[in-house]
């Protein structure tokens, strides 16, 4: 699996992603500059977390117009695997590669803590290695992760099985207490209709080693390797 | 002609506004008991050079649609004025 990790001005989770893939999973990785226009050598593109362009105007609003995003859209439309994490999720929504928007957390606070996610479907490229109902423990770190979509979009996301992750209690129950940011229906991550583009607020790249508190994030990266037809390490 | 556009970007009425709710709580804590609702938004002042008012308005509307507001969650309103002595 050849992974490209996109670096915008203000991105900061790029090296954490590279560490998880290269050092933990032994998968080749390269950084993709935001000015690049060709991604033909890649089968997975990650838009990592951070504060691209200082989050000015809206999170992801400026990054969405960076030269690389046209290539990312083309790559996604050809079926390439795209994972947007945190700010990367916000960018995918601004680019209309995923529906909805992420508002300020209901608490108005930046939340940096471990969260539990219930895997809602194992059809997306990033959950084929999981089973529906499985609970993953993965940290969040954001001030604007409050998932919003209008009623019609929400209905279509649910009907088409595009809700991939929901915030849950450790036992998998979907509760208001487990919702860290006010997201509608506890939604933590969604995919496009084809299932090759996934965005989520939590940071799987920070949960890939027991030494760092957990390795549930590996399931997401291993799923991508599986989806590309290989057996992960 | 130099025009000055003021763009007001607000969350759609159906979108919850945590900042507005927090500000309302602050105002009520200060004793402003009459406050019923606060909605927070963004204000942008844009100076541009266009042939006439119609062109200026149309350009600023394009800006708002493409970048300044996110149609999924926000509405916008534009106030346009010719700059300088009239």
Q: What CATH class has A3-227?
A: alpha beta
- A132 pLDDT higher than 80: yes
Q: CA-to-CA distance for A85 and A104, rounded, in angstroms?
A: 16
The ranges assigned to domains in chain B are: 2-82
Q: What CATH class has B2-82?
A: alpha beta
ipTM of this complex? 0.87
pLDDT in tens, chain B (86 residues): 999 999 999 999 999 899 999 999 999 999 999 999 999 999 999 999 999 999 999 999 999 999 999 999 999 999 999 976 54
pLDDT at res. B83: 79
A101-133 burial by CB neighbour count: b if 16+ within 10 A, else e?
Answer: bbbbbeeeeebeebbbbbbbbbebbbbbbbeee
Q: Is A110 on the interface with B (CB under 8 A)?
A: no
Q: How far is A27 from chain B (nearest CA, A)?
A: 37
Q: Is A107 on the interface with B (CB under 8 A)?
A: yes
Nearest CB partner across the interface for A148, out of B15, B67, B68: B15
What is the per-residue pLDDT across A178-206, written as a single tens digit (0 to 9) for each? 999 999 999 999 999 999 999 999 999 99
- A24 pLDDT higher than 90: yes
Say if CB A60 and CB A24 are below 8 A apart.
Answer: no
Task: Establish how many alpha carbons lie within 13 A of residue A144's alpha carbon, considering only the half-sphere containing its beta carbon.
Answer: 21
**B6 φ/ψ angles, rounded to the nearest 5 degrees:** -110, 125
Q: How confident is the model over A46-53, as a mean pLDDT?
A: 97
CA distances from B36 to B10, B12, B21 (A): 17, 18, 10
Q: How far is B67 from chain A (nearest CA, A)?
A: 7
Task: Establish how many alpha carbons lie within 13 A of residue A9's alpha carbon, considering only the half-sphere containing its beta carbon.
Answer: 10
pTM: 0.94
């Amino acid at each position: 699996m050849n992974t490209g990790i996109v670096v915008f001005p203000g991105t900061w989770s790029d090296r954490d992603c590279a560490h998880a893939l290269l050092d933990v999973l032994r998968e080749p990785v390269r950084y993709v500059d935001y000015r690049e226009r060709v991604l033909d050598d890649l089968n997975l593109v990650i838009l990592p977390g951070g504060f691209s362009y200082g989050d000015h105007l809206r999170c992801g609003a400026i990054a969405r117009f960076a030269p690389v995003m046209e290539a990312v859209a083309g790559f996604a439309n050809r079926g390439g695997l795209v994972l947007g994490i945190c700010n990367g999720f916000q960018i995918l929504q601004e680019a209309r590669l995923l529906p909805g928007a992420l508002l300020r957390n209901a608490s108005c606070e930046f939340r940096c803590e471990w969260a539990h996610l219930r895997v809602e479907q194992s059809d997306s490229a990033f959950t084929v290695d999981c089973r529906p109902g499985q609970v993953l423990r993965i940290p969040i770190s954001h001030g604007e992760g409050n998932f919003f979509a209008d009623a019609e979009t929400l209905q279509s996301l649910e009907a088409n099985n595009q809700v991939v992750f929901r915030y849950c209690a450790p036992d998998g129950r979907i509760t208001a207490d487990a919702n860290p940011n006010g997201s509608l229906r506890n939604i933590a991550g969604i995919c496009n209709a084809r299932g090759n583009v996934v965005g989520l607020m939590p940071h799987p790249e920070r949960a890939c080693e027991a030494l760092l508190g957990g390795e549930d994030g590996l399931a997401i990266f291993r799923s991508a390797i599986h989806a590309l037809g290989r057996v992960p390490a | 002609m130099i025009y000055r556009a003021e763009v007001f970007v607000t969350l759609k009425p159906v979108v919850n506004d945590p900042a507005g709710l927090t500000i309302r709580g602050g105002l009520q804590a200060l004793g402003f008991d009459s406050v019923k609702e606060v909605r927070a938004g963004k204000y942008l002042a844009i100076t541009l050079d266009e042939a006439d008012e119609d062109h200026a308005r149309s350009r600023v509307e394009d800006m708002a649609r493409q970048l300044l507001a996110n149609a999924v969650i926000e509405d916008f309103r534009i106030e346009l004025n010719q700059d300088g002595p009239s």
